[in-house]
Amino acid sequence: MSRDASIKAFEEAQSLIPGGVNSPVRAFKSVGGTPLFITEGEGAYLTDIDGNKYIDFVQSWGPLLFGHRDETIEKAVIEAVKHGLSFGAPTLAETELAKLVISFFDSMDKVRFVSSGTEAVMSAIRLARGFTGRDDIVKFTGCYHGHSDSLLVQAGSGAATFGNPSSPGVPADFTKHTLLAEYNNIESVKKCFNDSQTIACVIIEPIAGNMGLVPADKEFLHALRELCDANGTLLIFDEVMSGFRASVNGAESLTGVKPDIVTLGKVIGGGMPVGAFGARAEIMSKLSPEGPVYQAGTLSGNPVAMAAGFAALTKLKQNARVISVLEERAKRLVEGMQEAASACGITMQIDVRGSMFGFFFNEKPVKNFADACNSDAELFAKFHSGMLNEGFYFACSLYETGFISTAITDEMIEETIKASAKVLKEISNG
């Protein structure tokens, strides 16, 4: 399988774009080799500029629930483009998509659209601070909420402590109000509340997808809800990745825990750049121009993106059972891969939530980021490379989640399992 054209393209890109990519995870640094330059997506497949085809388990990192170039979404986008790319003024499309998004969530009375998940989370935290009149926030090690300054923090020596910047360019003053806790460990959260009496919000991925797929335990989330209520703190569910992927009605429908604010992205754009955050009316009323908390965006509610999102969510609502179908395929995939690994004497931990799946080459179940970091990164890199050579495109990091789309058939799942058995056998044989 030749990748000469991708190699050449990457060399040129590196001379013009930092690292040759516009998002670091695309660079293949953790798995080795050269990132593929894609020329086309169609259904379940990606085609690179060398003409190689791959069954795609990344699906643009989640948005493409119905696969590449879904006919319904594509038609809606083309029709919207005919009327203009952007107006910077209200459109009916914004209201229609807002109505649709709200209909899926019991916790949401109003929603505001933005252009990315990072922007949605940044705005939701500002809103929580404005609503409570407090400054501190709690986040969990291993949960990623975008690259805004106050969320780029690293853990200190304790189980829960005030964060330090994890990136140059982020002043310590920006992160001094961010406390860190351990995922699925309620005692570490209690320590945060003991350390600060001014916690505005706790933000969590209820189904973490940025340390691999690691769902929060129901008991942990219920305890977290009780702790927030007892301290007058808002609970934010970051479902930029899991929203409409793990469940049609959000993590609140799977866990029975109702958040105060939900952030969304990915699927609600149908492949276009869209983010959103929503809450009950009392909280959202604090947002400008209705209230004093300022948030704005020239391209927010872009009519083309709204059209794509409305088409995607309408199709999902009309075919709500599709998540169950995709969940069965995801389970068959990871269980088949786990069996193949076991046959080679390799221990693989697996998990599935709706159309999301994850696997770790790890001796023990993964409950938090420290557990995830104990996974065999070298083995994952070899597996990723081997599957790529077989024509299967997985996320190029062991800390990322995989996705099933409706374009991926049962036959494709079986092909993937068969290929994984071959690759794992070759790896185990040295």
The sheet carrying 199-204 orders its strands as 110-114, 275-279, 261-264, 234-239, 199-204, 136-140, 178-181, 161-162
pLDDT grade for 116, boundaries at 50, 70 and 90:
very high
Q: Which amino acid is at 60?
A: S
Give me the pLDDT at residue 164, please. Answer: 64
> Could you tell me which of 165, 146, 236 has the C-alpha nearest to residue 200?
236
| 20-39 confidence digits (pLDDT tens) | 999 888 989 889 889 999 99
| 280-323 confidence digits (pLDDT tens) | 999 999 999 999 999 999 999 999 999 999 999 999 999 989 99
Produce one character per residue of 384-400: b if its CB has 16 or more CB atoms within 10 Å, e if not: bbbbbebbbbbbbbbbb
Give the Cα-Cα-Cα angle 50, 53, 55 (nearest 5 degrees): 145
| 39-95 confidence digits (pLDDT tens) | 999 999 999 999 999 999 999 999 999 999 999 999 999 999 999 999 999 999 999
Domain boundary among 281, 300, 318: 318
Q: Do the bridges between strand 38-42 and strand 45-48 make them parallel or antiparallel, or are there none, so unpaired?
A: antiparallel
Please enumerate in sequence order all residues whose Cβ is within 8 A of that of 263, keeping only pairs 6 or more positions apart, or say none.
117, 120, 121, 124, 145, 236, 237, 238, 239, 240, 275, 276, 277
Residues 156 and 187 grouped into a single domain: yes
CATH number at residue 401: 3.90.1150.10
- Please say whether the beta carbons of 262 and 52 come within 8 A: no
Residues 183 and 271 grouped into a single domain: yes
Q: Which amino acid is at 368?
A: N
Residues 54 and 114 grouped into a single domain: no
Please provide the average confidence, as pLDDT, over all residues in the chain. Answer: 94
Radius of gyration of the chain (CA): 21
Give me the pLDDT at residue 175, please. Answer: 80
Q: How many domains does the chain have?
A: 2
The residue count of the chain comes to 430
Instruction: Count other Cβ atoms within 10 Å, centred on residue 164.
Output: 16
Determine the number of helices (DSSP H) and then strands (DSSP E) in the chain. 14, 19
| 372-419 confidence digits (pLDDT tens) | 999 999 999 999 999 999 999 999 999 999 999 999 999 999 999 999
Residues 86 and 104 grouped into a single domain: yes
pLDDT grade for 154, boundaries at 50, 70 and 90:
low
Give me the pLDDT at residue 156, please. Answer: 37
> Could you tell me which of 212, 158, 164 has the C-alpha nearest to residue 189?
158
- Please say whether the beta carbons of 68 and 270 come within 8 A: no
Residues 136 and 273 grouped into a single domain: yes
Residues 95 and 171 grouped into a single domain: yes
C-alpha span between 116 and 120 (Å, rounded)? 6
Lowest mean pLDDT among 150-164, 188-202, 326-340: 150-164
Report in angstroms the alpha-carbon separations of 358 from 208, 303, 365, 414.
Answer: 10, 34, 12, 17
Catalytic (active-site) positions: 144, 238, 266
- Please say whether the beta carbons of 242 and 220 come within 8 A: no
- Please say whether the beta carbons of 308 and 273 come within 8 A: no
Give me the mean pLDDT over the 202-215 stretch.
96
How far is C-alpha 298 from the geometric centre of its chain's CA atoms? 24
Find the helix packing angle between 303-318 and 71-81, rounded to 10°.
150
Q: Is 201 helix (H, G, I), strand (E, B) or coil?
A: strand
C-alpha span between 374 and 142 (Å, rounded)? 13
| 155-168 confidence digits (pLDDT tens) | 433 333 455 677 78
Please enumerate in sequence order all residues whose Cβ is within 8 A of that of 414, keeping only pairs 6 or more positions apart, or say none.
336
Residues 378 and 330 grouped into a single domain: yes
Residues 45 and 108 grouped into a single domain: no
Residues 58 and 187 grouped into a single domain: no
pTM for the model = 0.95
Give me the pLDDT at residue 271, please. Answer: 94
Q: Which domain holds residue 258?
A: 71-318
Residues 79 and 51 grouped into a single domain: no
Domain boundary among 318, 335, 369: 318
> Could you tell me which of 156, 143, 159 has the C-alpha nearest to residue 202?
143
Domain boundary among 289, 318, 347: 318
Helical segments of 216-295, H only: 218-230, 251-255, 281-284
Joined tokens for residue 321: 């059972």
C-alpha span between 165 and 29 (Å, rounded)? 22
